[in-house]
Amino acid sequence: MPKILFLPHKIILPKGATLYAQTGQTILDVALQHNIQLEHACEKSCACSTCHCIIRKGFASLSGWSEKEDDILDKAWGLSSESRLSCQAIVGNCDIEVEIPLYTVNHVK
């Protein structure tokens, strides 16, 4: 079972967390199953960037991304070359390390 290390986030997850995922789950689904309240304003439909995360380790082990995800990521705050939408990033067989950005582009909140 691959391990997901969520780095500390001062609001959502002050102490960070280490979770185990089933291969084939999305990062967002794993987080929500463990009561980590990542934003996902579009309900996992790849239509917003509120579930944006940065993969600090293990990026290559995630599923590939679509052109649609790439277009949506362009709207994310704090975008980096290791950015993914957690609703679209499917966990492979290797451990990953995830940073949740401090801010999101959520106009509803």
- Pair of tokens at residue 82: 């290791």
Report the half-sphere exposure of 33 (CA within 13 A, side-chain side).
Answer: 13
- Residues with Cβ within 8 Å of residue 54, at least 6 apart in sequence: 78, 80, 82, 83, 84, 98, 99, 101
- Pair of tokens at residue 17: 């967390």
Q: What is the pLDDT of residues 74-98, one digit of tens each?
A: 999 899 999 999 999 999 999 999 9
Q: What is the pLDDT of residues 42-71, one digit of tens each?
A: 999 999 999 999 999 999 999 998 999 999
- Pair of tokens at residue 99: 């940073």
Would you report the helix, strand and coil content of the chain in percent, each value rounded to 5?
A: 15, 25, 60
Domains annotated on the chain, with CATH: 3-99 (3.10.20.30)
- pTM greater than 0.85 (yes/no): yes
